[in-house]
Structure 1
Amino acid sequence: MSGHSKWSTIKRKKGALDVKRGRIFTNIIREIITSARMGGKDLSSNPKLRLAVEEAKTNNMPKENIERAIKKGVGELEGETYDEMIYEGYGPAGVALLIETLTDNKNRIVSELRYALSRHGGSLGESGCVMWMFDKKGIIGFDAAGNEEDNIMEIALEAGAEDIKIEDGEILVYSDIKDFEAVKSVFESKGIKEKFSEISYIPQSNVELKGKESERMMKLMDALEEIEGIQNVHANFDMQDTVA
């Protein structure tokens, strides 16, 4: 398996620095509403909702906001309805892009996507044009500074994980989607605290970017991050340059 795209790590580090709490909360609330609408409000039987709630708690979202979003999702309170869509396209140097969205206005988000991509050397593609370049996997991340790699690896193998890697100070445990919850449960039962967990699209191989290509790619990713309704952007690139 190829390594996880560095963008996920970069985005988490940027999130700790950027003052974007309002946008983060909006995206998480949309995820909670949609997950509850599709799978119900019981966290024990709705893993997608459970992940969204965990992310909300990690970002210090007030409990009442979480509860209100769940109630909107299951119809106990009046709320919005969002459509899930994945758009595929290309960035500078042929980087493959999978863009996950939750929106109540498809026409608006497509228009804004096309504009951002064209402005920064990218383009939208047809459905299926790059999806084959990614594998959908569960990822559990641990802080490498506070955990022994051998111990994490032993537990991961015992739990049925597929792979383990160290990237940018994080130990990443990969699993098949069907085993994701079971792997998480094993670590939780042993009292090992995760840094994050997510279902993500992992690139099978990465395009190496440097210099101006890196700059253009980061400007595109920043532009996509600003579009209302975009939840996640998956891309198959690594950068040789250091990103602050």
Structure 2
Amino acid sequence: MAGHSKWANIKHKKQKEDKRRGKLFSKLSRKIAVAARQGGGDPEMNSDLRMAIQKAKDNNMPNDNIERAIKRGTGNLDGLTYESFVYEGYGPGGVAIYMDIMTDNRNRTAAEVRHILDKNGGNLGSNGCVAWMFQRKGELVLDLSEFEVGEDELLLEALEAGAEDLEYGEEDAVIYTDPANYEDARKALEEAGYEFESADLAMVPDNEVSLDKKDAKKMLRLMDQLEDHDDIQEVYSNFDISDEIQAELEAEDN
């Protein structure tokens, strides 16, 4: 699995995270509000808003929260105005880090993100320093414990639905699509009976950087702190941790 998928798997294992639900809803609200402000409040006419609403529903966000976020974005409710942009940088072992940011105070966010990176063996880079290492793709993650489907069968169904590629692992399968085909492919596969553990547009790394145990421990701590920051919507990286090192780190945490 590529680094972004590895991190997603780790997060799902850690997820007795109801305490973070409020933080997640806050981030989703920002995403909806920014999409509504930039493209209007009608999801039928605004694909970014439509996908932001779908992501909120995937995470069981109440409809009232979704409606309030849309109204804030279109100016029908008072609230802070957020801007959306990207930060790029490096983590332990020279891995690439790509962050989607939404904030009402760019200077504050820059200082806080730089501090998190610096204290965990990373650094903030210039615009474009790592973006070339990633491609934006639709990413549909299937929990294989929930579906008894072989790799060949799933690949055939995914391709027929308009997907581009499949990574089939022991626990999860990740289906990749062109961003333009993401919604249609998801709909077709859901109509075929699949329910996804997660589904979104993501920055997928072209290549991975394998980390030793020391850097892996630092990297996981860094990712956890970046994910936890209120202004960081999504974090993507190209790190990879072997199953053996991951098992050692999990044993140390228990």
Asked whether the 8 Å contact 2:31–2:102 carries over to 1, the reply is: yes
Asked whether the 8 Å contact 2:135–2:204 carries over to 1, the reply is: yes
Label 1:13 to 1:29 Cα distance change in 2 as closer, same or farther (>3 A): farther
- Determine if the alignment matches structure 1 residue 199 to structure 2 residue 201: yes
Asked whether the 8 Å contact 1:87–1:127 carries over to 2, the reply is: yes
Q: Provide the residue aligned with 1:105 in structure 2.
A: 105
Q: Provide the residue aligned with 2:232 in structure 1.
A: 230
Q: Provide the residue aligned with 2:59 in structure 1.
A: 59
User: Which of 169, 172, 197 is the aligned partner of 2:171?
Assistant: 169
Distance 1:164 1:40 in 2: 34
Secondary structure of 1:200's aligned partner: strand
Distance 2:172 2:99 in 1: 24
- Normalising by structure 1, we get a TM-score of 0.92
- Normalising by structure 2, we get a TM-score of 0.88
Asked whether the 8 Å contact 1:141–1:195 carries over to 2, the reply is: yes
Percent identity, aligned pairs only, is: 43
Secondary structure of 1:20's aligned partner: helix
Structure 1: any 5+ residue segments left out of the alignment? Answer: none
Indicate the larger mover: 188-197 or 84-93: 188-197
CA RMSD across the alignment: 2.0
Label 1:168 to 1:78 Cα distance change in 2 as closer, same or farther (>3 A): farther
Structure 2: any 5+ residue segments left out of the alignment? Answer: none
Asked whether the 8 Å contact 2:4–2:237 carries over to 1, the reply is: no
After superposition, where does 1:141-152 map in structure 2 within 5 Å? 141-147=141-147, 148-149=149-150, 150-152=152-154
Asked whether the 8 Å contact 1:136–1:199 carries over to 2, the reply is: yes
2:238 alignment partner AA = N
2:166 alignment partner AA = I
After the TM superposition, which parts of structure 1 deviate over 4 Å for at least 4 consecutive aligned residues? 1-4
Secondary structure of 2:200's aligned partner: strand
Q: Deviations over 1:54-109 (max 9, x none)?
A: 22223322221111111111222222211111111100110100011100000001
Aligned length: 244
After superposition, where does 1:24-173 map in structure 2 within 5 Å? 24-147=24-147, 148-149=149-150, 150-167=152-169, 169-173=171-175
Distance 1:67 1:168 in 2: 39
Distance 1:37 1:188 in 2: 30
Asked whether the 8 Å contact 1:41–1:49 carries over to 2, the reply is: yes
Label 1:168 to 1:18 Cα distance change in 2 as closer, same or farther (>3 A): farther
Distance 1:178 1:118 in 2: 37
Q: Deviations over 1:190-215 (max 9, x none)?
A: 23222221110111111111211111
Indicate the larger mover: 10-19 or 207-216: 10-19
2:163 alignment partner AA = A
Distance 2:173 2:228 in 1: 29
Indicate the larger mover: 58-67 or 92-101: 58-67
